[in-house]
Amino acid sequence: MALQSSGAISLQDLKTEFGDTGSSSLSEFYRGGSLVPNTGTNIGVPTSGEIQLSDFYGAAATGWEWTQTYTSMDEGVTRTFQFEDTSGTTTSGTFNWSINGTTSDFNAVSGSGTINSSSQGSFSITTKNDATTEGTETYIVSVTYSSSTILTQAFSLLDTSLTPVTINVARSTTSVDEGNSFTFSATATAAITGTVNFTLGGTATGGGTDYSTSGASGSFTFSNSTTSNSVTISTIADSTTEGSETVSCTISSPSVSGFDPTIGTGALSVVINDTSTGTPTYSLTSNTSSVNEGGSFSITFATNQSGSFAYTITGVSSSDINGASLTGSVSNGSVLNFSVTEDSTTEGTETFTISLDNGQASESVTIYDTSTAPATYAFTSASYNVTEGSSASIGVTTTNVANGTTLYWSLASDPGNDIITDSGSFTISSNSGSFSVSALFDSAYTESTETLTLQLRTGSTSGTIQDTANLNIINVGGPSVTTGTTTYRTYVQDITSGGPAIARAETYVIVTSSSSGITVTLDGEAPNGSFGSLQTNSGNPASAYTVSAPGSNLSSYRIASTGGSGPTDNGNGLFDNGVVNPASGYSALTDNTSYTVGTSRGTYMYTEAEIDIGPTASAEIDWTITAAFYFTDSFGTESGPYNFTIRATAIATR
């Protein structure tokens, strides 16, 4: 328990509080001695010199104590201070700490923390590492809790600063002409030992293109206030006009012993003045403008630029110039010699062209064809077939005929005007060519194959005949008709033991068509009742007639009613008269109207029988229609009639 904070205090009170039985003098109760702990609670008790009883107001044998503290600290370090309440009575709350210094020496000069459940607290102080030489400085850190100072600690801040030094890049000149040299190095504001890295850049290209380097590589070395080495830039004098270019040197990452280095002027450039001869020039010159097969010629290349330049030869093949390559490269003063192959192949006049790949120069030489081998011309076959309404390709082969030569063809005669065009022309490429002939489609369905004579000519369609071949015109027959089920009956019955009995039978006629075929289909349906066994094809679609036209020459069709009976009934029950009833998507077909092929048409008829009298009564409706189908080809010829019968029977019984 702490001593009182005012009033009279006796020596015996001190002995009792601090557990002493032998002391008889206040001088034995200095703070930090064997009796009075050096705690914040006892902060008023002196550690030496004059001491009075009143100095012990509030003092206690237990209280706040440092558990980790420091009396000195280096620049650039972090230290943690720890303390606790030895009485164990303080287990929570906020404390504050402060230093009687400034942020020029410390990262922070004040802060706060929390007392934990073990009556302990801690905080950290970080000192700054600077390059300023200040000497040792003394500071006091204080800790307050509940608005009272509970602990203090004096400590020394030791001066560990380094002397600053500035490093700059240096150059021997600001500009040079092409062909001259200069250097880059580095300087320092003090005599130092160490290195600094460097890199080269700028718009000029190193590696021997615009300049080369020698001497230092990657870093400069200091042995005093200047570097002991440098990098030499040797510029290249060329004839390429590039304009002024630059070489730059940038320093970085200094490493110096005993100093604090910083980069001052970190980069400098030197201008390379362009002293080239002017605008680049290129020329390819032949010693002749033309040459015959078996002759020779040469091409000379000139330029004011250094280096080699790629070229490509076009217009001829390698075999035309005795196997010489069609690609290569030249430099200033190069002379290329070519020999022209003397062969027996007729190619016609050719043009040899050599061009620089950079597009800056080209030259051409005309090569005259002096071959003596005769040209030949032939059809690829002795006979060709062409079907009416279609075309056939006719092939031609030649030898010793120049590419691009025009040949001609004609018919010896065409008495039936079966071929649309009787003559024409085509072009030879690589000693081959072709042309097309087209045959008309006519109404003479039963004529036999006709044979005409093809003529291959030079000069014109009436020029010299070089070869002949047969052209066979294959006849296309007329439409053919396949007959299927031409009598179709839908038989429906409804048998019930009570209530009304209703039976309804429907018979369909559907026509689908295109220019190459027509189909007439018969079908049945039982909307009420079920199919009977009287007619086996009830409910199954059946094809009555199928028309096939190999020449795709159908134009129209029609269906005409030719007779019929009904609807008839047996006189019992009620019935709804059967009618030709166009429904959605259907229309009457038996009206003898012509319909254009390509459209589908359809209709149906129905009968309906209803019985609602007597236990043994029955009603039957029966209807029959006979009709004829006709079709017309594209030449206006109509075929028909093709007859068919449709019948619908409905019977209701109970």
Asked whether the beta carbons of 380 and 431 are under 8 A apart, the reply is: no
pLDDT of 546 higher than 60: yes
| Strand stretches in 360-405, DSSP E | 362-368, 376-379, 383-387, 391-399
pLDDT value at 24 more than 70: no
Q: Is the pLDDT of residue 390 over 60?
A: yes
First to last CA, the chain: 124
In this predicted model, what pLDDT tens digit does every residue of 122-171 receive, in sequence order? 999 999 877 676 778 999 999 999 888 888 899 998 877 777 889 999 99
Overall average pLDDT of the 321-339 stretch: 95
DSSP 254-311: EEETTEEEEESS-EEEEEEE----SS--EEEEES-SEEETT-EEEEEEEESS-S-EEE
Interval 482-527: pLDDT, tens: 998 899 888 888 888 766 778 888 888 888 888 889 999 988 888 8
Q: Indicate the pLDDT class of residue 115, thresholds 50, 70 and 90.
A: very high
Distance in angstroms (rounded) separating the CA atoms of residues 277 and 567: 113
Q: What percent of the chain has pLDDT over 90?
A: 39
Whole-angstrom CA distances from 606 to 467, 525, 575 are 71, 9, 11
Task: Say which DSSP state 11 is in.
Answer: H
Is the entire prediction scored with pTM above 0.85? no
- What the chain holds in terms of domains, given with CATH numbers, is 11-56 (no CATH), 64-158 (2.60.40.2030), 163-273 (2.60.40.2030), 282-368 (2.60.40.2030), 376-474 (2.60.40.2030), 480-653 (no CATH)
Token pair in block for residue 585 = 């998507």
pLDDT tens across 166-221, in order? 999 999 999 998 889 999 999 988 888 889 999 999 999 988 888 999 988 889 99
**Over the stretch 592-642, which tens digit does the pLDDT of each residue have?**
888 888 877 777 666 666 666 556 677 777 878 888 999 998 888 899 999
3-state secondary structure of 248: strand
**What is the spatial distance between Cα 109 and Cα 584, in angstroms, rounded to a whole number?**
98
Tens digit of pLDDT for each residue in 235-270? 988 767 777 899 999 999 998 877 778 899 999 999
Per-residue model confidence as pLDDT tens digits over 275-295: 775 678 899 999 999 998 889
Cβ(142)–Cβ(136) below 8 Å? no
pLDDT at 579 over 70: no
Q: What percent of the chain has a predicted confidence (pLDDT) above 70?
A: 91
Cβ burial, residue 141 (10 Å; 0-12/13-18/19+) = buried
Q: pLDDT digits over 548-576, tens only?
A: 888 768 889 888 888 776 665 554 443 33
Question: How far lies 135's CA from each of 74, 78, 159, 162, 366, in Å?
Answer: 11, 19, 5, 12, 95
Strands (E), 391-536: 391-399, 406-411, 423-427, 432-438, 450-458, 464-474, 480-483, 487-495, 501-514, 517-528, 530-531
Secondary element (H or E) of residue 15:
helix 11-18
Q: CB neighbours of 111 closer than 8 A, spacing ≥ 6?
A: 96, 97, 98, 123
User: Do residues 509 and 602 lie in contact, with contact meaning Cβ atoms separated by under 8 Å?
Assistant: yes
Look up residue 34 and give its amino acid. S
Copy the structure tokens of residue 375: 């040209």
